Amino acid sequence: MLEDILSIDFTPFVLSFKLAFITTLILFVVSLPLAWWLSQTASKTKPFIEALTALPIVLPPSVLGFYILVALSKNSPIGAFFERVFNIDLVFSFGGLVVASCFYSLPFMVQPLQSGFESLNKNMLEASYISGKGVIETILKVAIPNIKPSLLTALIVTFAHTVGEFGVVLMVGGSIPGETKVASVAIYEMVEMMDYKSAHIYSAIMVFISFLTLLGVYLFNRKIKKIGF
């Protein structure tokens, strides 16, 4: 049993976590201004942007994967642009997976941040403006430190959700070992090849890590609630 565990190829896990890490980082930077804007605006376009952002939650991963695949292929202007300027092929490559994951996990970053920002006392933000501070300084020094639970939820859930994705990854990345074969895809292949023993071990590891991560979030949020901020 121990030998079985030790002999596992951990590359798919490393790939999964690398993908999740990069995706979370990119999404954090992109979503912060978007979530802030959504939380403060009275613009009529807000519901449209919100609906657009939430789309990946309801769309079947195959639909999302299909459109991303079409958009990134060399026949589309986007794919052609990336190939000409950066000389990278985004289809069936790690880079393509990152792009796909960013779309797929966007709502999981934007929504908690937005609701965190919305829950802040408006007078407190105004007090910061009156103190002479601009929007960026207010976000960094007042808004973010006071939405720690939402911030942590956004980061962790985005990370976990990216680790857990399957359909989009399979469609956009395929299953190239060491390049696009992430843990979820590896498990799918094992089951297909009736290698149940490896599938069991991989799946158990996924359950274990996911549970620990979520437990960490909830424990932290409980502690934060007790302190008061």
Partner 1 sequence: MVFIDIGKKLHGIGGEMELKVSLSIKRGEFLVVTGKSGSGKTTFLRILAGLERGGGVIEVDGEIWQNEKVFLKPQKREIGFVFQDYALFPNMSVLGNLLYVRNDIPLARRLLEITDLLDLSDRLPATLSGGQKQRVALCRALMKRPKLLLMDEPLSALDMDMRIKLQKEISLLHKEFKTTTIMVSHDPSEIYRLADRVVVLEFGEIIKEGSAKELFLKESDKKLFFWGEVLDILKREGESRAVVFVEGKIVLIPISKERVSDLQIGRKIKIGVDASTLFIA
Binding of partner 1 at residue 194 (CB under 8 A)? no
Give 135: exposed, middle or buried? Use CB within 10 Å, 0-12, 13-18, 19+. Answer: middle
**Given the structure tokens 């590896």, which residue do they identify?**
186
* Smaller CB separation from partner 1, 46 or 133: 133
Q: How many residues bind partner 1 (CB under 8 A)?
A: 19
Q: Kindly give the residue spans of alpha helices, DSSP state H, lying in 8-165.
A: 11-40, 46-58, 61-72, 77-85, 94-118, 122-130, 135-138, 148-163
Q: Which is nearer to partner 1, 4 or 126 (CB)?
A: 126
Nearest residue (CB) to partner 1, 100 versus 142: 142
List the one residue from 39, 114, 146, 184 that touches partner 1 (CB under 8 A): 146
Rounded Cα–Cα distance for residues 132 and 53 (Å) = 33
Closest approach of Cβ 40 to partner 1, in Å?
Answer: 13
In angstroms, give the least distance from the CB of 128 to partner 1: 7
Establish if 47 lies at the interface with partner 1 (CB under 8 A).
no
Does 42 participate in binding partner 1 (rule CB under 8 A)? no
115 within 8 A of 150, measured Cβ to Cβ:
yes
Shortest Cβ 224–partner 1 spacing (Å)? 11
- CB 41, min distance to partner 1, A: 16
Token representation of residue 137: 């300084």
Residue number with CB closer to partner 1 (7 or 123): 123
**Residues 35 and 114: beta-carbon distance below 8 Å:** yes
Q: Which is nearer to partner 1, 96 or 116 (CB)?
A: 116
Non-local CB neighbours of 179 within 8 Å, separated by 6+ positions: 15, 92, 93, 94, 173
Token reading at 62: 């195959």
Decide if residue 124 touches partner 1 (CB under 8 A): yes
Residues forming the site for partner 1 (CB under 8 A): 121, 123-124, 126-134, 141-142, 145-146, 227-229
